[in-house]
Amino acid sequence: MDDEARGLLIDIDGVLVMSWRPLPGAVEALAGLRDAEVPLRFATNTTTRTRDEIAATLTAVGMPVRSDEILSAPAATASYLREHHPGARCLLLNEGDLRADLIGVQLVDTGQVDVVVVGGAGPSFTYEAFNRAFAALHDGASLVAMHRNLTWRTIEGLQLDSGGFVGALEEAADVEATVIGKPSAEFFAAAARDLGLAPSTITMVGDDVHNDVLAAQDAGMRGVLVRTGKFEPGHLDGLERRPDAVIDSLGDLQALLAAR
């Protein structure tokens, strides 16, 4: 690896795994990066599992990862809420239990709501739940979104994610969400701080051309798109900017970096 590309941010879902099963070549690719002692972090908008659970799951399928190497949208959201809404009563809409990553955040089911927090979509995203969120926003609560991904891919195909629901709440309540995870510029800035590297020396590897790759480029990083996960050929059509590179899978990353 050259001096201009010293660190890596790697997306998890769609790059390392799909439905928590390793993608072809991912186990070997990560082992190679570890052997080369490449500084890296795992940048994910995953909201169905905590960082401890993600680390345990990846380790169990042959990709040893520590919890403190995972930069997640839920953990970043907790940090944001502690700093900008200390003591706030937060109504959480999310598929999955994230309490272990939301340390210092007061979650409520009844009574006054100061902040509506939207995580990842799933069966719990009912009309009743969203109507309550809308009522809280109409009464003056703030809206915070862990991300606004429109879709994610599983072994069963593309699935609807929470981005459309966030947009619906914004329009219905005439509010604007603060988005914490990718593609937020602050998320990428925090990742650079965690790596201890200048953004210009970091390469982001992801399957989402907008939320991963172009957003990383906006933050001063390089962006590499993989043709796995949610990637579809049409995603490259009509782009004003292009990824720095497009590769078939994570298994091609070391060759790309070596060529540079």
d(CA 120, CA 96): 8
pLDDT along the chain (260 residues), means of 10: 73 96 96 95 95 98 97 96 97 94 95 96 93 98 95 85 95 97 95 96 96 97 96 90 96 86
- pTM score: 0.88
Are 12 and 53 within 8 A, CB to CB? no
The dotted CATH code for 84-179 is 3.40.50.1000
Q: Which backbone phi and psi does 11 adopt, to 5 degrees?
A: -65, 155
pLDDT at 4: 58
Architecture of the CATH domain 7-45+182-259: 3-Layer(aba) Sandwich (3.40)
pLDDT at 154: 84
What ranges do the domains of the chain cover? Answer: 7-45+182-259, 84-179
Do 7-45+182-259 and 84-179 show the same overall fold?
yes
CA angle 57, 60, 66 (to 5 degrees): 65
